[in-house]
Structure 1
Amino acid sequence: MGRIIALNLLYEIEDIDRFPRVQDFASYCRLVKCAKESNGKKYGTAGRKIGNAHLRWAFSEAAQLFLKGNKRGQRYLQKVTSKHGKGKALSILAHKMGRAVYFMLKNRQGFDMNRFLAA
C-alpha cells in the first residue's frame, strides 16, 4: 500500500471503533453511493459529497498499487472487468479494500491475500 497512503488512512480514520458496522465505514469513505428513499420507496442516489474525500482518494490509489506486479490481483480485476467494465471494476476493488482494512483494524489481524481474493 505504501507509507503515505497507510498514514493517510490511519489519520483520517482515527478510531475504527466509531464505526459500528462495515457499511457505516464504507459510507464514510465514499466507497458506496448514498440511497435516496422515502417510505420504503427508492428514488435513486444522491449526496455524492457526503463522507471523507481523502479516504476515497487513498483507497482508489491503494487499489491501483495493489494491482502493480500482483498477478492474482490482476486476474481478479480482469474477472470483475468483464462483468462491470474497467472503471466500475476499480471502484469495486477499492470498496473491497476498504472492507478489508475495516476488518483488519477491527480484529487486529494482518492482511490475508487468500481470504481477500476468495469470492
Structure 2
Amino acid sequence: MAMLRTLRSEITALETILHQEAQLRPEFETLKTTPGIGNILAATIMFETGTITRFADVGHFSSYCRRVDSKRISNDKKKGEGNLKNGNKYLAWAFIEAAAVALRCCPQARRFYERKRAKRLPVVAMKALAHKLARAAYYMVRDGKPFALNGCFS
C-alpha cells in the first residue's frame, strides 16, 4: 500500500508539471470528453497528432495511428503486407489504452466490444474499439465538437 501511495503522488506531481509546462490547445478539452481519455492520453494524442489539417481524411488519420491493416488484397487473395511499423507508435498506444479504459467506464463501448468479441478474437475486438475511438477523435478535433456517444457507437 505504501508503494501504491508513493506512485499515486508521483503521478499527481507529473500531471501537475504537464499542466504547468505544456501549451495545451483547445482540442485538449475536446478530447477529454471521450470515454477512456483523460489528461495524459488527451495530451499525448494532441501533441502527437499535431495539426489535424495535415490528414486528408479520417482514413489517413486512422492509418497514421496504426489502427488499420496494411494488407494488399487482389481477387480476395492476400498478395502481401505493407510496412507494419509505418505510423505513430505513441498514438497506437494511446488509443489502445483509451479503449481499455472505455471498456470499464462506458456501457456502449463495452457492448460494441462484446459484439465484436463474439465473432473475432478479443485482440481484434480491442483494436476495433480503438479504431472507433481514433475515428471519433479525428472528427472531434477537426470540427471542435465534444464526443457524441450516439454517433460513435450507434
TM-score computed with the length of structure 1 as normaliser:
0.90
Question: 1:55 corresponds to which residue?
Answer: 91
Query: Cα deviations across residues 52-102 of structure 1 (Å, max 9, x unaligned)?
Result: 000000000000111113222212211111011211000000011100000
Quick check: 1:108 aligned with 2:125?
no
Residue 73 of structure 2 contacts residue 80 of structure 2 at CA under 8 Å; is this kept in 1? yes
Question: 1:79 corresponds to which residue?
Answer: 115
Query: Cα deviations across residues 16-50 of structure 1 (Å, max 9, x unaligned)?
Result: 00001111111111111223479xx9613231100
Question: 1:97 corresponds to which residue?
Answer: 133
Question: 2:53 corresponds to which residue?
Answer: 17
Question: 1:29 corresponds to which residue?
Answer: 65
1:7 alignment partner AA: A
TM-score computed with the length of structure 2 as normaliser:
0.70
RMSD between superposed Cα atoms in Å? 1.7
Pick closer, same or farther for the CA change 1:42–1:76 going to 2, 3 Å. closer
Residue 109 of structure 2 contacts residue 129 of structure 2 at CA under 8 Å; is this kept in 1? no
Pick closer, same or farther for the CA change 1:37–1:117 going to 2, 3 Å. closer
- Give the length in aligned residue pairs: 116
Larger Rg computed on CA atoms = 2
2:45 alignment partner AA: L
> What SS class does the counterpart of residue 43 from structure 1 fall into?
strand
Residue 63 of structure 2 contacts residue 87 of structure 2 at CA under 8 Å; is this kept in 1? yes
User: Quick one: distance in 1 between partners of 2:61 and 2:108?
Assistant: 26
1:117 alignment partner AA: F
Quick check: 1:45 aligned with 2:81?
yes
Consecutive unaligned residues of structure 1, counting only runs of 5 or more, are none
Sequence identity, in percent? 36
Question: 1:64 corresponds to which residue?
Answer: 100
Quick check: 1:2 aligned with 2:33?
no
User: Quick one: distance in 2 between partners of 1:99 and 1:72?
Assistant: 16
User: Quick one: distance in 1 between partners of 2:128 and 2:87?
Assistant: 17
